[in-house]
Amino acid sequence: MVKHVIVERPLPGRVEEFVTLARRLWDLIAERGWVTYDAWPMVAADEGEPALFDYGFLGRALPPSALTFVFEATYPDQAALETQLHAMRTDRDVVAIILAAGELVDPSGSRAYVLEHWTTARIAADGVVTSV
């Protein structure tokens, strides 16, 4: 199982436009029968006593430097993700929305990640990941 995670930071004053395009894209993805993405805005850091360490559950959650949205979808495997990404990249309507949204975000705050579920991957001592 793999997760596709996208982090986007809309430009100040462009949040409503960005959200409108994101909703249009979600509707289009659903219409096509593709895997849809969950979405949420990142929120402020945790509160309370200062953390003792800078890692794991003992660390303090950091606040985003600006309003940032996270989009996440789970795919059964890497091949399913690649199939959908290829279909999206060749769909004129999808590309038009993504290019328009690209004008509304801060590229330094935008990232995409592919994460493999830890029970479906084997991590060697040298850090190399192989599928089980």
State pTM to two decimals. 0.80
Helices (H) and strands (E) in the chain, counts: 3, 6
Which tokens sit at 64? 């985003």
- Residue 66 predicted with pLDDT over 90: no
Report how many domains make up the chain: 1
Q: Give the mean pLDDT of the chain.
A: 87
Measured distance between the N- and C-terminal CA atoms of the chain, rounded to whole angstroms: 11
> What is the predicted pLDDT for the residue at 106?
94
Which residues form the domain of 123? 2-131
Residue-by-residue DSSP string for 17-62? HHHHHHHHHHHHHHHTTPPP-EEEE--PPP-SSPPSSSSGGGSPPP
* pLDDT tens for each residue of 91-120: 999 999 999 999 999 999 899 999 887 766
* pLDDT tens for each residue of 70-88: 999 999 999 999 999 999 9
- Domain containing residue 61: CATH number: 3.30.70.100
